[in-house]
Chain A
C-alpha cells in the first residue's frame, strides 16, 4: 500500500527529505514506518496520521499521510 510520509521543521534537514511516498506491506504500523525512514526513535516527536495523533501500534491504510514532527510548544 502507498503511504506518504511528511517531515516537519528541522527533521527535514536532519533526516534528509521533506516528503516522500513509500510502498509498504499491509499491516505496517506507524512505528514500523518510523524505522523504515530512519528517524531516530529516541527523538521526542509527535506523529499524526491524516491530521490526527497516531495511537501506538495502529495499522496504517492505503493512502494515509503520516506526519512526523518535533514537539512544538508554540513560540
Chain B
C-alpha cells in the first residue's frame, strides 16, 4: 500500500504487551491519517463517558502519508485522545522527529492503552518495543527528561515527553518534543501522565513505502529549497509569528488584561521587532526551511523559545511587557509541560477574578514573580489554588462563582488563543465552532474580516470563510500531517499537497476530494461530542460571554463602544450550521452524514443522542 506503511502499533501499558495491526486500503483512503485516523479510532474504541484521565482513555500518535518524508514541512505528528480539558475529542499537532522515525519503524500510528504500574518510558525500534523504567526522571521537567533521553539514545531518535504538569494531571498539560516543541494543548500531556507514561522514544530503520520515491525525493528537496527562498524574500521568519503582535495591537485584537483591553501603549516592547533584536538562536521542526522558533535569554539567563501565542498570552494578557520576563514564564511552562496559551489565560482569569472580588488573593496583573510562583503551584497541584487553577479556567470559574464564568476566556473548556474578538465576529465564530474547543489552528479569519468584507458584518460570507479555512487548516494539514505555515505565511500553493500525495500514494486526487475528507472528519468529531454530551446545544459554540458585554467595551481606539451582539452572533452561527449541513444544535444531520460516508457511525451515535 504505497503512501502508508499499512500498520498501527498497539501497546498496552497494563499488560506490557504490543501488537502490530494491519489496516485496510479502504480505511487509509477514507481517513488518510493524523486527525482522521485518531478520531475514527477513538470513536470506535472508546466507550462514551470514560474518564479521560483513567486507564480506559487511549493516547494516540498519528501520522499522515507525507509525514516524515523530506518535503515542506512534514516533521509533524498528531497526538490525540479524549480531552481532559473538554471531555470531547482532543488533539494537537507537534513538531517532532517521531514523524519520521515512527514511519520508518513501520507504523502510521501508535495507540497506547492502559496504565503502567510505575513511571515508564516506551522505547520503539522497528518491530521491537521495550517498557523501560522512567523513575529517574519522574518529577523532572521536560528539559532534564529530554537530555536524559538524548544521553541514552543520541539526538536522532524521535521523542515525546511530559513534565510535572502532565504527571500531576493538569488538564491543559502538553506533550513536548525536541528542545522547544509542544503540542496537544487539549491536555494530551495529562493523558500521558495518567498512564504513567513519561516518554515515548522511537527509532526506525526501514523505508517508507512510496509510489514514486525518486520523484518525491526530487520534488521534496526542490520545494524545501524554494520555500526557503520565498521566505527569505518575504522576510517572514525575521519576526516569525510574533510579527503579528504589533498588527493586533493596531487593529484592537490584542489580548490585554484578560482580554479586557484590546491594545496597549507598551505592546511595542514585546513585539516582533524587539524579539528579533533579542534573538540568540533560531529553531525549527524537522523538514523545515522557514524556522519559526526564536529564542532569547530570559530573566534567569536561560534560553526560552517564543512565538506570538505565548508572548501574547503570557505577556500583554497579564500586563507584562518585558520580553525577558515573558521568556521566563514561557520557559517555566515549557519545562513543566503547561500549555502556554491556557497557562496565560488561567493566570489572567485568576487576576481578573481577584480584581472583581470573585475570590480573595494577592495576585495581580503585571506580577512577574507571582506568575512564576503560580505556574509552579499549578504544575505541582500545590495547595488549594494550585489545584483549582490546574483544572483550567472553566472549572476554576465554577468554583469561584460570582459570574466569573463570563470572563473565563474559554470555549468548551479550552482557553482561547491570543486574538481578542471583542469586536471580530468571524474570528469569534472560528473559536466557537473549533471542534476541540477554542483554538486558532482550525480557522483564522481576521485579515479577511478587515480587508475583504467588513468588521461589522455577521453575514454568511464569514461563516463560509471559516469553513473554507477549517477544511484546509483543521482538515488537510491535520490529516496529511504537515505544518500549515508554508501556505499560511509565505503563500506556498495548496496545489502542492495533492502533488505530494500522488507521489507517495499514486492516487490522483483534487483539492475538492480532500475537502470531502475534511468535512467527514469534522462530522466525526461532532459525533464524538454528541455521544459525550447528548444534551448538547448551540450554546456550546458560543464564545466567552464577556465579548457580548456592553460594560466591557473599549472607551477609545478603533472599536470604541463596540462589542459582539448575541442575536447577530447566533445568526452567524446559524449560517455556519446551514452551510455545513448541521442541525440547530450544531450536529450533522443524517443526510449530511450519509453524504459524507459516515451514516453507519451516525447510527452508532444515535444510541446516545438524537440525530435529525
Contact = CB atoms under 8 A, between A and B. Distances in A.
B446 interface: yes
A63 interface: no
Given A51-B251, A52-B558, A10 B447 contact: no
Interface string A44-72: 10101011110000000000010101111
Contacts of B447: 46, 71-74
A52 B450 contact: yes
| Max chain B C-beta neighbours (<10 A), residue from A13, A14, A72 | A72
A6 interface: yes
B327 to A, nearest CB: 18
A14 B272 CA distance: 14
Nearest to A66: B250
B238 A46 contact: no
A65 B444 CA distance: 25
Contacts of A46: 447, 450-451
A75 B250 contact: no
A8 interface: yes
Given A8-B247, A46-B450, A51-B557, A74 B235 contact: no
A9 B488 contact: no
A30 to B, nearest CB: 13
B246 A8 contact: yes
Interface string B75-111: 0000000000000000000000000000000000000
B444 A10 contact: no
Interface in B199-258: 234-236, 238-239, 241, 243-244, 246-247, 250-252
Contact of A48 (B241, B251, B276, B419): B251
Contact of B488 (A6, A69, A74): A74
B168 to A, nearest CB: 28
Nearest to B263: A51
A50 B243 CA distance: 19
A57 to B, nearest CB: 15
Main secondary structure of the interface of B (DSSP, over half): helix
Interface residues of A, number: 25
A12 B308 contact: no
Given A51-B557, A51-B559, A72 B450 contact: no
Contacts of A69: 246-247, 250
A9 B244 CA distance: 7
B606 interface: no
Contacts of B247: 8-9, 67, 69, 72
Contacts of A14: 235
Contact of A10 (B235, B250, B488): B235
A72 B558 contact: no
B241 A75 contact: yes
A72 B235 contact: no
B254 to A, nearest CB: 11
Contacts of B372: none
B309 interface: yes
A18 B273 contact: yes
Interface string B516-560: 000000000000000000000000000000000000000001110
Given A10-B239, A52-B455, A70 B558 contact: no
Contacts of B130: none
A55 B446 CA distance: 17
Contacts of A9: 235-236, 238-239, 243-244, 246-247, 272
Interface of B: 234-236, 238-239, 241, 243-244, 246-247, 250-252, 272-273, 276, 307-309, 419, 440, 444, 446-447, 450-451, 455, 485, 488-489, 491, 557-559
7 contacts: A13-B276, A48-B250, A48-B251, A53-B455, A72-B244, A75-B308, A75-B488
Given A69-B246, A74-B488, 13 more contacts: A8-B272, A9-B236, A46-B447, A46-B450, A48-B250, A48-B251, A50-B558, A51-B252, A52-B251, A67-B251, A72-B447, A74-B244, A75-B244
Among all A-B residue pairs, the 9 with the closest Cβ atoms: A51-B558, A74-B444, A10-B235, A9-B243, A73-B488, A75-B241, A53-B450, A72-B244, A67-B250
